[in-house]
Chain A
Amino acid sequence: MGYPDDLLQYAKQMAEAYPNEAHQPSLRRALSSAYYALFHLLIADAVAHCSDPRFRSALGRLFDHGPMKHVCENTVERIKNLFHPTPPDDPERTVQYHLHNVADTFSQAQQNRTDADYNLLKEWQPGQVSLLIEAVEDAFKSWQTIREEQAAKDFLIAMIPTREKKQGQKDGQKQKPRPTLADPNAPSP
Chain B
Amino acid sequence: MYIARAIAQQSVFFAAVSRIMLPPQVVSLTPMLGTDGNGNDAVFFRVVLADNSVPRNQLLAFTRQISASIIAQLNPNEEWGVWPYFDFITQSEEARNKQPIWA
Option from B16, B78, B97 in Cβ contact (under 8 Å) with A123? B97
A84 contacts B90, C-beta separation under 8 Å: no
Asked if B37 is at the interface (CB within 8 A of a chain A CB), the reply is yes
Give the nearest-CB partner of A70 in chain B: B38
Q: Describe B's contact surface by its main secondary structure.
A: helix
Q: Which A48-101 residues have a C-beta within 8 angstroms of B?
A: 66, 69-70, 73, 77, 80, 83-85
Residue in A113, A128, A138 whose beta carbon sits within 8 Å of that of B88 in the complex: A128
Q: Is the CB of B12 within 8 A of A189?
A: yes
A149 within 8 A of B: no
* Tally of B interface residues using CB under 8 Å: 36
Report how many A-B pairs have Cβ atoms within 8 Å.
Answer: 80
Contact B37 A110 (CB under 8 A): yes
Evaluate whether A111 and B9 lie within 8 angstroms (CB atoms) in the complex, with A125-B89, A127-B89, A127-B93 already known: no
Give chain A's interface residue range (CB within 8 Å of chain B): 20 to 34
Indicate which residue in B9, B77, B83, B90 contacts A181 across the interface (CB closer than 8 Å).
B9
**Do the beta carbons of A178 and B9 come within 8 Å of each other?**
no
Nearest CB on A from B95, distance (A): 10
13 cross-chain CB contacts under 8 A:
A22-B97, A77-B77, A80-B71, A107-B83, A127-B90, A131-B88, A134-B60, A178-B2, A183-B5, A186-B5, A187-B12, A189-B9, A189-B11
